Structure 1
Amino acid sequence: MLLAGILADPAVLAALGLKPRGEPVALPGRLSAAPSAGLAADSWPRWDRNAAGHVTAVPIDSTPDLARYAAIMGLAPALHGDTPVLGVGDTGDDATGEADPRLAAEIAADLLAQPADQTPENLRARLPMIAWRTASRLRAQAERGAPDAPGPAEVDRVRIEARATPYARYFAVEELLLRHRLHLGGWSDPLLRAVFVSGDAVVVLPWDPVRDRVLLVDQLRAGPVARGDAQPWLYEPVAGRIDPGETPQSTARREAMEEAGVTLGALFPVPGHYPSPGIIAEFIYGFVGVADLPDDAATVSGLDAEGEDIRGHLVDRAELTRMALDGRIVNGPLLILALWLDRMADRLKAADPPR
């Protein structure tokens, strides 16, 4: 069998437990762009055999792990003569950008680490959540990987002895059996902790510095419903999960358009945070985004495929501050954005916006 595209990358080969069985092979033609290859199912590059150029492919011996991965990812082999070629599909040429081999490799490793009783069909349904979680882990390692205060100074300070996933659908609950170094020295007894696992998210507050007003949204939220809150519609910022391959900034711009129909200009980063670190493995990136917010900017929007029913509200910035201080805002990320903007608005108006 030959592996082409992202599957021929050494990091992905290693994650799948594969070794080349010979020198690379040059296949005729070219592959289309496929930035989601290895990150999402059925997102593989088209192989144009008649185009000028060549495609590098790696010969390997197929394994059960590779077959399981292919079934999860919607991969069917193409043929080069009598030799099957894996790693190509039907993605069109309208895509741009390149897939991230490190992320694709980590997703492959995470998929193969799932329990054997999880069927390929089940794992394919969970793939977006698994990929979100994988991308979030890599982002955390890159941005917050060095030990720092607070906590014990040693690099080896947390050991995960066992990990289980008793609930796994769109989101998941993980049980961790862990030990950690103690402030007074030594190690803790084994601790069993349950964590709600989603993925990193972005919140962004569209702000018109000329009119000095912001755009808030509201929609029904399941958390307040489950708590029994009589008011489960909350004022919120625009928000959304960071898709694998996206940056926090590109997510902010995409979600502003999807949720509010707003195009953002300059983005000002607001300090990120863990909303509830004792039980939720989620990190939230915050932004204030410059936008043109005329009187007709507040609309009803959202994606029907995601069951979204989102209404916009134009609010003067001074009123937003009053809402934050008198308790009319109970969405934590919006509180942070509102108070940060109250502190920083004059400085942002006076400075050249970041490019």
Structure 2
Amino acid sequence: MSRDVLLVGPLAHAAICDVLGVSGEKVMISGRLQGGKHAGIKAGDWPCFIDAELPLEARRMIMTPELARYAAVMGLHEVAHERGVLLGVLPQHGVRQEEWAEAGWQPMLAAAIARIILDEAENMQPEQIAGRLPMIGVWAESRLRAAAAPVSGGGVVAAHDASDIRLRERRQPFAGFFAVEEWRLSHRKFDGSFTPQIRREGFIMGDAVVVLPWDPVRDRVLVIEQFRLGPAMRHDPQPWMLEAIAGRIDAGETVEEAARREAEEEAGLRMQHLFPAVHCYPSPGAVTEFLYQFIGIADLPDGVAGVHGLADEAEDIRGHLLPRSELGRMLRDGEITNGPLSMLILWLEGQASRILSDLDVGQG
């Protein structure tokens, strides 16, 4: 039997309601909201409802299966109110928080996450989807960044739009920390016709940052060493690789914030400046990952390298200080096999003088 609920706060925002396919009349109730800056982005971070003699806008609507599934994934429960039951808030608790303000919230990201949640397979239980929310958020924001990015190709590649790809079927045979999607599609050919239906699998990974710390005064860099599953699965005799600092961009943070956070987590470093290098897809044939790569200016005295990493992610990361010239030699001699690090070494060799000029730092 259908029943009414009152959506309040971020859950009543038009962007999320559009995704959930809900609409309803706007009504005024009494109360106020606290917290919830990451509502719809981080699990459990929804506003708390506070009893108060203040006007609060709500949206009255009939509960739908889509809304119920979304609420179950997000851990939202109904909260009793004199005007009915509220959805989109948490019960009042004793910790004082900032008043809810839409200005500090990211509705487009929350809506993108909601869309992915509803796109998940029907046989996937809400608690399974909830367990993947951090990576769903990373993937949702990756798609938003892609949509807003300048078109690549420099005019050499002809402009295309959604009509050039005909998606017949989409399924997700695996969803864990990462996911695999299978598409059955046809796409436009260079002669204007379409290919026959083809099946392709893609490895779903969100965007990541890569940072190579460089001390231009001492002209040395810091690289990290850690175990990597890919080389181990390939039976590479050396699955401990030299790399640049790298990691996923969390939902709700900027690319630059992620770069600085990863530098602190993996090497205990604070970046003084970040210089954008080559941003790219490392393996676009089957992997969705996009890399934002930087040279980070840092103070790298003797003894700064150590062992770092997040214990709750089982990270065991050792830093190495190397002269920039030595790292270049290692690359030329085939001793560096990590792609992003190789690219940053080459980029820095060509751009070091410009960076020094920008920093107004002299060597010697």
1:279 maps to 286
Deviates more, 1:322-331 or 1:145-154: 145-154
Matching residue within 305, 320, 329 for 1:322: 329
Alpha carbons of structure 1 residues 318 and 136: separation in structure 2 relative to 1, 3 Å: same
Q: Would the aligned equivalents of 2:33 and 2:47 in 1 still touch at CA under 8 Å?
A: no
Q: Would the aligned equivalents of 2:73 and 2:126 in 1 still touch at CA under 8 Å?
A: yes
1:112 maps to 118
1:263 maps to 270
Q: Deviations over 1:303-345 (max 9, x none)?
A: 1111100111111111111122211111100011111111111
Q: Deviations over 1:14-72 (max 9, x none)?
A: 1111102x22425323322x33210122121233445x965432222222211111110
Alpha carbons of structure 1 residues 92 and 124: separation in structure 2 relative to 1, 3 Å: farther
Q: How far 1:83 sits from its partner (Å)?
A: 2.1
Q: Would the aligned equivalents of 1:103 and 1:135 in 2 still touch at CA under 8 Å?
A: yes
5+ residue gaps, structure 1, are none
Q: How far 1:147 sits from its partner (Å)?
A: 8.3
CA distance in 1, matches of 2:289, 2:222: 24
SS of corresponding position for 2:166 = strand
5+ residue gaps, structure 2, are none
2:32 maps to 29
Q: Would the aligned equivalents of 1:266 and 1:289 in 2 still touch at CA under 8 Å?
A: yes
SS of corresponding position for 1:42 = coil
Matching residue within 135, 150, 155 for 2:141: 135
Amino acid of the residue matched to residue 44 of structure 1? W
Give the alignment's TM-score, normalised by structure 1: 0.92
How many residues align? The count is 350
2:176 maps to 169
Give the percent of matched residue pairs that are identical in Structure 1 and Structure 2: 45
1:39 maps to 41
CA distance in 2, matches of 1:154, 1:128: 31
Q: Would the aligned equivalents of 1:273 and 1:285 in 2 still touch at CA under 8 Å?
A: yes
Amino acid of the residue matched to residue 6 of structure 2? L
Deviates more, 1:53-62 or 1:246-255: 53-62
Q: How far 1:79 sits from its partner (Å)?
A: 2.4
Q: How far 1:146 sits from its partner (Å)?
A: 7.9
Q: Would the aligned equivalents of 1:28 and 1:53 in 2 still touch at CA under 8 Å?
A: yes
CA distance in 1, matches of 2:76, 2:263: 33
1:5 maps to 9
**Is 1:306 equivalent to 2:313 in the alignment?**
yes
RMSD value over aligned CA atoms? 2.3
Q: Would the aligned equivalents of 1:35 and 1:98 in 2 still touch at CA under 8 Å?
A: yes
Q: Would the aligned equivalents of 2:28 and 2:55 in 1 still touch at CA under 8 Å?
A: no
CA distance in 1, matches of 2:132, 2:283: 23
Q: Deviations over 1:90-123 (max 9, x none)?
A: 7973899823111111211221122211110111
2:89 maps to 88
CA distance in 2, matches of 1:214, 1:47: 51
The equivalences for 1:1-355 within 5 A come to: 1-20=5-24, 22-32=25-35, 34-49=36-51, 55-81=56-82, 83-89=84-90, 93=97, 98-144=104-150, 149-155=155-161, 156-352=163-359
CA distance in 1, matches of 2:182, 2:278: 29
Alpha carbons of structure 1 residues 83 and 141: separation in structure 2 relative to 1, 3 Å: same
CA distance in 2, matches of 1:330, 1:202: 18
SS of corresponding position for 2:132 = helix
